[in-house]
């Protein structure tokens, strides 16, 4: 029987290493001081700006659909299960977001000749053109954001985000154990 999932930080053991030093978080830490809140708030603000200024003027797709198109464009023809893994979305989200893209003719879906129950997805010519248009509009915005940081700060941010991503995965695995 699986253990109920708790919100506590795992204790020290051989698998997870030393217990986290909780002194880095004061007992009176306000919600606005939580790293998860700050990253989430920044992410939401950036997503809203990108959608409003770059995606919405070019097409009726939302940010979720745009991300799926981006993964398909980057990786070429792939299965929905691979798209789910790459986009960090569950299969139900993928299915709901893909259908309008397929209906509009921006994503093509064909049967996988090697697996009768699977489909392969790829951008259509119209989907690639839409992706290229939105990308050309969004690229200067991304550059402006990154130019707010020095080259050293950008490299440090990449390292920090990678490290937090690994820590998050390790904590999640510890909570699932």
130 within 8 A of 106, measured Cβ to Cβ: yes
| CB count in 10 Å sphere of residue 105 | 11
pLDDT digits (tens, 9 = 90+) for 124-151: 999 999 999 888 888 998 999 999 999 9
- Give me the pLDDT at residue 129, please: 94
pLDDT digits (tens, 9 = 90+) for 78-116: 998 899 999 888 889 999 999 999 999 999 999 988 888
In this structure, the dihedral spanned by the alpha carbons of residues 154, 64, 44 and 29, taken in order and rounded to 10 degrees, is -90
16 within 8 A of 10, measured Cβ to Cβ: yes
Correct CATH for 48-146 of 3.30.70.330, 1.10.1370.30, 1.10.10.10, 3.30.70.890: 1.10.10.10
With 0.75 as the threshold, say if the pTM is over it.
no
Q: What residue segments make up the domains of the chain, in order of their start? A: 48-146, 150-177
Distance from C-alpha of 97 to C-alpha of 3, rounded to nearest angstrom: 33
Residue 121 pairs with which residues in a beta bridge? Answer: 78, 109
The dihedral region occupied by 156, where left means phi > 0, alpha psi between -120 and 50, and beta the remainder, is alpha
């Amino acid at each position: 029987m699986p253990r109920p999932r708790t919100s506590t930080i795992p204790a020290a053991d051989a698998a997870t290493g030393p217990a986290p030093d909780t002194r880095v978080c004061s007992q009176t830490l306000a919600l606005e001081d939580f790293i998860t809140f700050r990253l989430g708030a920044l992410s939401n603000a950036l997503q809203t700006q990108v959608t409003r200024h770059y995606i919405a003027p070019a097409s009726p797709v939302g940010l979720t659909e745009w991300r799926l198109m981006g993964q398909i464009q980057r990786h070429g023809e792939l299965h929905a299960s691979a798209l789910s893994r790459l986009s960090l979305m569950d299969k139900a989200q993928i299915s709901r977001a893909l259908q309008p893209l397929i209906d509009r003719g921006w994503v093509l879906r064909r049967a996988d000749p090697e697996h009768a129950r699977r489909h392969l997805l790829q951008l259509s010519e119209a989907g690639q053109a839409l992706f290229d248009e939105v990308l050309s509009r969004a690229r200067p915005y991304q550059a402006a954001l990154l130019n707010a940081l020095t080259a050293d700060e950008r490299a440090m941010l990449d390292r920090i985000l990678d490290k937090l991503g690994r820590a998050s995965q390790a904590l999640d695995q510890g909570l699932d154990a």
